[in-house]
A = this chain, B = another copy of it.
Amino acid sequence: MQLHDFKTLADSYTVFFFDAFGVLKNYKGLIDGVVDTFAYLRDRQKPVYILTNDASRSPQQLAESYWRLGLTDITPDMIISSGMLAREYLQLKVDHGTVAYLGTESSAHYIESADLHTISIGELTLENISEVNALVLLDDEGFDWNTDINKAVNLLRRRNIPVIVANTDVTYPVSKNRLAIAIGSIADMLESIVGKQFIRFGKPDAQLFMFAYERVQEVLPGISKRNILMVGDTLRSDIAGGNKFGLDTALVLTGNTAAHEAELRIQATGIIPTYVCESIQL
């Protein structure tokens, strides 16, 4: 497996889509070289977007989290999150009533900003259940798993309503050796139990890429997909999604895919990045 130098790619492409976790940051903080790479791209006026499966916070809050880590180049409009897609869906498709949610209050506040009334699953009662017109799965925290996942099952047996999964990730790393279960796994379990089809937002689905591509075209009208590079650490979301959308893709080895297993996984999955780079360090 040939490793490519990220600097060559930084010079060759016009626009960059980055995954967040495992590319820009990890459980310890920013990944080495990220500040310099962002400065390099900014100096050359190359637009950068962050495409992230995250519905726990608003773009503003996500941008601030990068500032606190020392990456001050990031503005909220550079962030495209699966939560934004969920919010757009709810705005377009749920025009009255209440949206129930599994997640933190903070994640729900962002949904609420779409003029929708939200209620946590924990607050559901026999009285208010008939007003619930959608269920949105936002985050794995902020609720009692045993009680509230069971309440969600029984809500979906009584009310035939759309269920929106605002983050399809199945796990996320919390330390070098430990994973935590993400809301995407809870969504899979719920969907299998109730037998209904949920609506999922997030990579590898095309909609997140489309959202970012539309934003690029406001800045650079008529830009070809050939000039955009998608950079990620995960074959099944970042690389599969970028490839299918027609973009060139670069797999970096600073996150989910370790150097020693990259070649084997590319072979086993048939998900083939255009390039493999150690990291985005120049």
Which residues of A come within 8 Å of B, CB atoms? 88-89, 92-93, 140, 144-146, 149-150, 153-154, 156-158, 160-163, 170-171, 177-181, 185-186, 188-189, 192-199, 205-207, 210, 225-226, 236, 240, 243-247, 266-272
Q: What are the 4 A-B residue pairs with the smallest beta carbon separation, nearest first?
A: A196-B270, A145-B145, A92-B246, A145-B146
* Known A181-B149, A185-B192: A225·B89 in contact at CB below 8 Å: no
A162 contacts which of B188, B192, B236, B243 (Cβ < 8 Å)?
Answer: B243
In the complex, which residues of chain B have a beta carbon less than 8 angstroms from the beta carbon of A192? Answer: 170, 185, 188
| Bound-complex Cα distance A238 to B193 (A) | 18
Interface centre among A145, A245, A268, A269 (most CB of B within 10 A): A145
Does B270 contact A162, Cβ atoms closer than 8 Å?
Answer: yes
Interface residue SS majority, chain A:
helix
Does A270 contact B197, Cβ atoms closer than 8 Å?
Answer: yes
In the complex, which residues of chain B have a beta carbon less than 8 angstroms from the beta carbon of A245? Answer: 207
A160 contacts which of B162, B180, B196, B266 (Cβ < 8 Å)?
Answer: B266
Does A185 contact B193, Cβ atoms closer than 8 Å?
Answer: yes
| Bound-complex Cα distance A193 to B270 (A) | 13
Does B92 contact A226, Cβ atoms closer than 8 Å?
Answer: yes
In the complex, which residue of chain B has the Cβ closest to the Cβ of A151? B178
Does B145 contact A149, Cβ atoms closer than 8 Å?
Answer: yes
In the complex, which residue of chain B has the Cβ closest to the Cβ of A270? B196
In the complex, which residue of chain B has the Cβ closest to the Cβ of A274? B93
A269 contacts which of B153, B193, B196 (Cβ < 8 Å)?
Answer: B196
In the complex, which residues of chain B have a beta carbon less than 8 angstroms from the beta carbon of A171? Answer: 153, 193
Interface centre among A192, A194, A207, A268 (most CB of B within 10 A): A207
In the complex, which residues of chain B have a beta carbon less than 8 angstroms from the beta carbon of A268? Answer: 195-196
